[in-house]
Amino acid sequence: MNPFVFHTPTRVYFGETSAASCGDFIHDLGGSRVLLVSDAYLEKSGMLNPIIESITTATGNPPLLFTDVPSDSDIAVVNRASAMARANKCDALVAVGGGSVIDTAKVVNICLTFGGELMEYQGLNIIDRPLLPLIAVPTTAGTGAEVSFVAMVKDHEEGKKLMFGSPYLAPNMAVLDPLLIVSLPAKLTAATGIDAVTHGIECFVASGTNSVFTDALCLEALRLLFEFLPQATADGNNLEARGATLAASCMAGVAFTNSGVGITHALAHALGAKYGTHHGMTNGVLLTHGMNFNLQATAGQYARIARFLYFSSSGDDLEQAQILVDKVEGLLKELKLPRTLRELGIPELTADNLKELVDMAGSDPAIMFNPKEASEDDLLQILKGAY
C-alpha cells in the first residue's frame, strides 16, 4: 500500500434536533460572544430560533446575527460581517446555512483571527495556526463545507472566486440535523446532492493523497446518495432520506478534502465564477462529460464503484465503467436537473469567453488532482460538448 496521510479535525454530531445543542457546543469550545452567520431566508423561516435560544442560554449572551449572506457571497459581504463582529468583540462563530454561508463564515474567521489584509491568506496552506472556534450547521446536503479545509468566496470586481485552503479552516464541529434540510426545495435538493455525488466520484479517482480511508468514505457516500437522493428530492419530508444524504455529503466532504476532486469541479468553478451558476447544478451538467474524459484512465476504479453499488458484476472494467456513467446519466434525468450549459442559462459561448473559461479551469486547484492531464483543447471540447 502507498504511504498516505488522512486528517479530519472536525467532530461530527448527527441527529434530529441536534442544532438546538449548538449553544452548549460553542460554550464548550470557549465561545462567549458568538457571531451567528446565516442568510435572510433561514432567518425568516424561524429555523434559527432554537439555535439563538440555545446560544443565549449557554453563553449568557444573545448571538450577534449576520444574515446578509447571498447565494453568491463575496469579499464585500465578508468585510461587512467581520467589521460587525470585531466591533462586538465576537470570539466564536456558528454558521447555519448552505455552502455559501459556511464558506463566508470560514473567511470571516480568518479576518477575525488575524486582522490585516485578507488577500495575504489566499491560496493553499498559508494559514498555519488555529482560528477562532467555528461550528458549521449545514442546511443543504452537498458541499461538505462543514468539514472541508477550503472556502471560496467571490471577488466580484475581478470576476473570479478566491480560494483559501488549510486544515485550520475546517470547522471545529459539524452539527448535522436532518430537520434543517426539510424545507430545501426539490430542485436545490437535487442540485446540492449532485455536488456530493460529484465529490464521491471525482475523489475516488483523484490523484491526491488517495487512501483506503477516502475510498471507503466515497463508496459508502455514493451508495447512500444513489439510494436516497431521489427519495429526498421526491419527498422533502422523508427524514430517513434527508438524514442519509446529509451524512453522505459530509462523508464525501471528508474524503475530497483529503484526496481532491478533478476536471468537473475545475470547469464548474470557472463557470460559477463567470456566470454565477449554482455550483451543484453546474457540476451536474458537466459530470458525465468529465467522467467520459477520464474513462480510459480510470476504468478500473469506476468499475469498482459500479460493482460496489451492484450496478454490474460482469463484463470487463471498461464495460462496467460505462455502466456507471450510464447510471449517473439516469440519476441526473430522474432528478430533472439541467443537462446542458444552455439549459443552465449560460449565453452562447464566444471564442473569447471559451478562452477565459479554459484559462480559469486550467489554473484551478481542482485540476491538479484530475487523474488524467487535460490540455487547453480538452477543456475547450468538454465545454463545447456540454453546451
Ligand X SMILES: NC(=O)c1ccc[n+]([C@@H]2O[C@H](COP(=O)([O-])OP(=O)(O)OC[C@H]3O[C@@H](n4cnc5c(N)ncnc54)[C@H](O)[C@@H]3O)[C@@H](O)[C@H]2O)c1
In the complex, the residues that contact ligand X under the rule CB under 6 A are 39, 41, 71, 97-101, 103, 139-140, 142-145, 148, 150-152, 180-181, 183-184, 188, 192, 195, 279-280
Do the beta carbons of residue 232 and residue 141 sit within 8 Å? yes
Q: Work out the burial of residue 157: count CB atoms within 10 Å of its CB; fewer than 13 is exposed, 13-18 middle, 19 or more buried.
A: exposed
Which one of ligand X, Fe ion, none is in contact with 88 (Cβ closer than 5 to 8 A by kind)? none
Do the beta carbons of residue 96 and residue 105 sit within 8 Å? no
Nearest to 328 by CA among 314, 339, 317: 339
Which one of ligand X, Fe ion, none is in contact with 148 (Cβ closer than 5 to 8 A by kind)? ligand X
Nearest to 110 by CA among 168, 65, 184: 168
Shorter beta-carbon distance to ligand X: residue 366 or 380: 366
Residue for cell digits 456540454? 386
Which residues in 243-324 belong to E strands, given as ranges? none
Residue 145's Cβ-side half-sphere holds a number of Cα atoms within 13 Å equal to 31
Which one of ligand X, Fe ion, none is in contact with 192 (Cβ closer than 5 to 8 A by kind)? ligand X
Shorter beta-carbon distance to ligand X: residue 107 or 224: 107
Shorter beta-carbon distance to ligand X: residue 23 or 284: 284
Residue 5 CB, nearest distance to Fe ion (Å)? 22
The only residue of 91, 177, 195, 215 in contact with Fe ion, by rule CB under 5 A: 195
Euclidean distance between CA atoms 22 and 114, whole angstroms: 25
Shorter beta-carbon distance to ligand X: residue 112 or 366: 366
Shorter beta-carbon distance to ligand X: residue 140 or 294: 140
Which one of ligand X, Fe ion, none is in contact with 294 (Cβ closer than 5 to 8 A by kind)? none
Shorter beta-carbon distance to ligand X: residue 323 or 364: 364
Strands 34-37 and 64-66, bridge-based pairing: parallel
Residue 382 CB, nearest distance to Fe ion (Å)? 17
The x, y and z cell numbers of residue 66, run together, are 449576520
Tell me the residue number closest to Fe ion, measured at CB.
Answer: 195
Query: Per-residue x/- marks for Fe ion, 11-40, CB under 5 A?
Result: ------------------------------
Q: Total residues contacting Fe ion (rule CB under 5 A)?
A: 1
Residue 30 DSSP label: T
Residue 69 CB, nearest distance to ligand X (Å)? 8
Q: How many other C-beta atoms lie within 10 A of the C-beta of residue 83?
A: 12
**Could you give the strand order of the β-sheet that contains 123-124, starting from the edge strand earlier in sequence?**
123-124, 160-165, 150-155
What is the total residue count of the chain? Answer: 387
Residue 185 CB, nearest distance to ligand X (Å)? 6
Residue 329 CB, nearest distance to ligand X (Å)? 21
Shorter beta-carbon distance to ligand X: residue 183 or 381: 183
Q: Is 364 in the site for Fe ion (CB under 5 A)?
A: no
Euclidean distance between CA atoms 288 and 302, whole angstroms: 12
Residues of the shown chain interacting with Fe ion in the complex, contacts defined by CB under 5 A: 195
